[in-house]
Each structure stands twice: as structure tokens, then as C-alpha cells.
């Protein structure tokens, strides 16, 4: 038995031939190792971390010029400058001076008016001469910096393109008295197109519409003594039945804002949304502390309007939609972050230049901060995961995002439109770099998984070769010792 363990005693194999075969295996392995190392190595290019960290500490400021016409005294310029500096946020640099014409975004003209009401006309504010200067400063502050915070929960996250999905939703057409269709084109033309046209500097919009005939609710409605039905504030959180409602009719990566016109079934009419100031809801909707509304906004998602048609109504005409689509228009403006004008101001336009400029500044600030946060997260992620691949695409995207941020800061004092455009470009490219598929793959395939894959694959081949090499070396040394002893 011992002779079988010694390779030199095997009669069917010469020592030289056996050892040359074994050596050839190891030669192949050694020659293939550099190739294997090259094809399995991770490309990890350097990122401009110093530029990212330096950009994170920069502050974006928009200079704004308020021009006072000749109807104001010269001393008013200095006083109003001091009042606005005390009220304006840090990202807004307000300069008050004398002038007669405001033509560019960031320039605004204030003139005295004999009317008792403040009126907006383009970038001009007609302010009553009887009002004190502090009231003028408060009004200008509300127009120039209308946002209490940079991010609001209800406002949709910025995107260069949105899809607007309008849906006529019948709860149950089988119950009868349902809406067969609607004159959506005329309603969109009168109520939605002015909004999309006014905001075309910021977004591109794609509009789609559909009619559905079965959209059950996921909760039981509360009947009232007068025969009506109510939806409580708690029910609003589950009103949209995503499991059974198909609200998106096309596939796209663009974010969707939904606008639902919900028609209750004939058995659940009239249906109203109940709201109270107290903690309880009375049984009857005629209570003193309760009111009925038919529309509500879902933050970052869209809006819903409940419509109770008459028994003989089967088609929503243009006149009927004129009572509904103003709510959708208001929902759209709220979701896109357009600020509201002060209640004591009169403006004939749907979207004033003051509102649009404020929205451009807000989105630029939001995108600027978002791009900085994404770039810092990208650099931090790459530093934390040593084997994270960083290819030329990611490196170029990070550098392009930094270049867009630098252009944004350089143009903030020259062109508000260009600054907003570069801010959108910066956050888009930064997000593309962070979510690069080559980087995300390693998050789901850490080094431990690679060891688990390679160990069973190579161990079964290398261990026998290693054992054979050790055995041949031991046999060769014995042969040398025997030959030396014979001498």
C-alpha cells in the first residue's frame, strides 16, 4: 500500500513525463493570472473631491433691484433699503435705487398710484401713495421672498419634464347614471394651457387624459340622515385606491401629476368631503361646525375633485368643466411651487412676472442645494466603499455637474433664466452620476459575495494541483537523498 503512495513506484508513468505535465499546469495558471487580474479588476478613477467640498461651502445669492420712480422722495430710497435688508432672506440681495424702467428678471419698478389698491402690471408695482413705507416694504418682501422654507412638503420635486394625467373616474358604472365622457380639450385649453405656457421656462409638460368606469373605494362611506354621504379626513389618506385604479396610461420615466375627477356611483350620491374644526364630526352635515368641500390636494401626487352629477347628466360639457378645472389649475400651481400673491394685491394675469421670478429663484436655490448634496454623497460613498468602481462616465458627470454649478453662481447676477437652467442641469447630471448602473451594481455584490463565488470555483482545481506539486517535491528530494547515499 505504501508503494502506491510513492509516484516513483508507479509502473505506467515516467517521473520526467509526470512532472512536465504538472509543471505545464502551473505554467498555464501563472500565465493566466495577469489576464484574470486584468479582466476582474475594478476601474476606479479619482473624483474631484476638493472641488466638491469647496462648492459645498459656497453661497448662492440673487441680486435684486427695486427701482423707485420720481414720485418717491430721495430719502425714501435709503429708508426702503434699510427696511428690505432687515426683512429679506440671506439668499436675496436687494438694492433700492431710482429708476423708471424694469425690463429684466430681477428688476422691479415701484410707482405711486392714486388708487386705494396695490396693482401688479408686469414687473411694475402700483402702490397707493396713502400707505406707509413699512407697508410697501412688507409687500415687496412678500413678493420677492414669498417662501417660508426652501422645501415645502406639498410641492413636487423638481423635474424638467412632467406628465399631467387627467382622469374621469366613475366609481361604479354598473349602478347606472354614470358619466360617459367629458369635453376635456376645451377645458385644458382654457384652464391648463395658460399655466403650462407660463411655466415653460422651467418645465416641459405632456398631457394625457382617460375615462374609467369602475373605480371602487377602499373604505365604507358614512351615510347621513339627509341621505348624503361623507368622507372624513381620515378616509382621505386612503381615498386613492392604487391597488384597483389604473391612473397612468403610458410608460415613461417622467414624474406624473394626477388630477382625478371622481364621480360617485348613483348609490353614494351626493358625496362630500367633511371637515371640522373640532375633534368630532356630527351625524348631520348641517351642523354648525362642519362644512362640505369637494376637492383636496395630495402632496407631491396631484389633486382630486368629487363631482355629484344630476340624475339626467351623462356627459360633462365645457360649461360643467369650467366649475371643476379651476380647482385643477390651482392644484397644479400649488404642486409646482408657484407662490401666492398677497391678498390685497390686484393682478390680471394668471401668473405674474413677480411670481415667476420668485419661482425661478426658489427652484435654482433648491436645485443648487440638491446638486451639492448629491455630489457630496457620491464622493462619500466612493470613499466608504473601497472597491466601488468609478468609470469615466461617472467622473465626467461629476465634473460636468460642478461646471454647471460654477456657471450657476457666475450667472446668478446676470440672468435669472440662465441661472435656473444651469441649476436644473447640475442636479440632473449629479443624480445621473450617483445612480450610475456601474456604481449601483457593487452595492448589491459586495466583496464577501465574490469570495463565495470564487472559492468553490478555484479551490476544487487548485487544491489537487497543489497537493500533487507537494508530493512530487517530496519524492524528488527522496530521490536526491538516495542518489547521494549511494555515492
The distance from CA 97 to its chain's CA centroid, rounded to whole angstroms, is 39
Contact 423, 368 (CB under 8 A): yes
Residue 450 corresponds to which cell in the numbers above?
465574490
Q: What is the pLDDT of residues 448-461, one digit of tens each?
A: 776 777 778 777 87
CA dist 322 → 152, 194, 258 (Å): 29, 14, 18
Other Cβ atoms within 10 Å of 189 Cβ, number: 11
Other Cβ atoms within 10 Å of 409 Cβ, number: 17
326: helix, coil or strand? helix
**Which residues touch 24 (CB under 8 Å, ≥6 apart)?**
none
- Strands 271-276 and 290-293 come out as antiparallel
Contact 191, 326 (CB under 8 A): yes
Phi–psi pair at 154, nearest 5 degrees: -80, -20
Provide Rg for the chain, Cα atoms.
Answer: 36
Contact 78, 36 (CB under 8 A): no
Per-residue confidence of the chain (487 residues) as pLDDT tens digits? Answer: 555 556 555 544 667 777 788 888 888 888 888 887 777 677 888 899 999 999 988 989 888 999 998 888 888 899 999 999 898 888 888 989 888 787 776 789 999 888 888 889 888 899 988 888 999 999 999 999 888 776 778 899 999 999 999 999 988 887 778 888 999 999 999 999 999 999 998 999 999 999 988 888 878 887 877 778 888 888 887 888 777 777 766 677 889 999 999 998 888 888 888 765 422 333 333 333 333 458 899 999 999 999 988 878 889 999 999 999 999 999 999 999 999 888 888 888 888 989 999 999 999 999 999 999 999 999 998 888 877 888 899 999 999 999 999 999 988 888 888 899 999 999 999 999 998 887 766 655 666 776 777 778 777 878 888 888 888 888 888 888 887 777 6
Residue the block writes with cell 472559492:
455
Which secondary structure element, helix H or strand E, spans residue 120, and what is its range? strand 118-121
d(CA 52, CA 379): 8
Q: What is the pLDDT of residues 206-219, one digit of tens each?
A: 999 999 888 888 78
Amino acid at each position: 500500500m505504501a508503494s502506491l503512495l510513492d509516484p516513483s513506484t508507479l509502473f505506467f508513468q515516467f517521473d520526467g513525463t509526470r512532472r512536465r505535465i504538472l509543471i505545464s499546469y502551473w505554467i498555464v495558471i501563472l500565465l493566466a493570472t495577469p489576464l484574470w487580474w486584468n479582466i476582474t479588476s475594478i476601474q476606479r478613477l479619482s473624483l474631484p473631491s476638493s472641488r466638491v467640498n469647496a462648492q459645498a461651502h459656497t453661497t448662492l445669492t440673487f441680486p435684486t433691484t427695486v427701482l423707485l420712480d420720481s414720485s418717491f422722495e430721495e430719502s425714501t430710497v435709503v429708508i426702503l433699503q434699510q427696511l428690505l435688508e432687515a426683512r429679506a432672506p440671506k439668499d436675496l440681495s436687494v438694492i433700492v435705487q431710482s429708476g423708471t424702467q424694469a425690463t429684466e428678471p430681477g428688476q422691479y419698478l415701484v410707482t405711486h398710484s392714486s388708487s386705494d389698491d396695490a396693482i401688479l402690471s408686469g414687473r411694475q408695482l402700483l402702490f397707493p401713495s396713502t400707505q406707509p413705507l413699512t407697508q410697501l416694504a412688507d409687500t415687496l418682501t412678500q413678493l420677492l421672498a414669498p417662501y417660508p422654507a426652501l422645501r415645502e412638503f406639498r410641492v413636487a420635486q423638481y423635474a424638467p419634464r412632467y406628465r399631467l394625467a387627467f382622469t374621469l373616474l366613475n366609481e361604479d358604472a354598473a349602478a347606472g347614471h354614470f358619466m360617459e365622457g367629458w369635453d376635456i380639450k376645451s377645458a385644458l385649453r382654457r384652464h391648463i394651457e395658460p399655466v403650462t405656457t407660463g411655466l415653460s421656462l422651467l418645465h416641459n409638460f405632456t398631457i394625457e387624459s382617460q375615462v374609467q368606469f369602475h373605480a371602487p373605494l377602499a373604505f365604507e362611506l358614512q351615510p347621513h340622515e339627509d341621505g348624503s354621504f361623507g368622507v372624513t379626513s381620515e378616509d382621505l389618506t386612503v381615498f386613492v385606491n392604487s391597488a384597483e385604479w389604473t391612473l397612468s396610461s403610458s410608460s415613461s420615466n417622467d414624474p406624473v401629476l394626477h388630477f382625478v375627477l371622481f364621480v360617485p356611483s348613483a348609490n353614494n350620491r351626493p358625496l362630500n368631503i367633511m371637515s371640522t374644526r373640532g375633534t368630532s364630526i356630527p351625524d348631520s352635515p348641517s351642523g354648525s361646525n362642519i362644512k362640505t368641500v369637494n376637492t383636496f390636494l395630495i402632496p407631491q401626487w396631484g389633486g382630486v375633485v368629487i363631482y355629484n352629477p344630476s340624475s339626467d347628466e351623462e356627459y360633462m360639457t365645457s360649461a360643467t368643466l369650467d366649475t371643476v378645472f379651476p380647482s385643477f389649475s390651482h392644484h397644479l400651481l400649488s404642486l409646482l411651487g408657484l407662490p401666492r400673491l398677497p391678498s390685497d394685491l390686484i393682478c390680471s394675469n394668471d401668473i405674474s412676472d413677480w411670481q415667476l421670478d420668485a419661482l425661478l429663484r426658489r427652484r435654482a436655490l433648491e436645485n443648487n442645494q440638491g446638486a451639492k448634496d448629491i455630489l457630496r454623497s457620491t464622493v462619500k460613498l466612493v470613499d466608504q466603499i473601497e472597491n466601488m468602481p468609478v468609470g469615466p462616465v461617472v467622473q465626467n458627470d461629476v465634473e460636468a455637474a460642478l461646471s454647471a454649478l460654477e456657471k450657476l453662481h457666475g450667472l446668478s447676477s446676470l440672468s435669472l433664466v440662465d441661472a435656473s437652467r444651469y441649476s436644473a442641469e447640475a442636479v440632473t447630471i449629479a443624480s445621473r452620476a450617483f445612480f450610475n448602473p456601474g456604481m449601483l451594481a457593487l452595492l448589491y455584490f459586495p466583496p464577501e459575495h465574490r469570495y463565495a463565488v470564487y472559492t468553490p470555483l478555484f479551490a476544487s482545481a487548485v487544491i489537487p494541483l497543489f497537493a500533487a506539486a507537494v508530493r512530487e517535491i517530496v519524492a524528488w528530494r527522496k530521490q536526491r537523498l538516495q542518489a547521494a547515499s549511494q555515492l
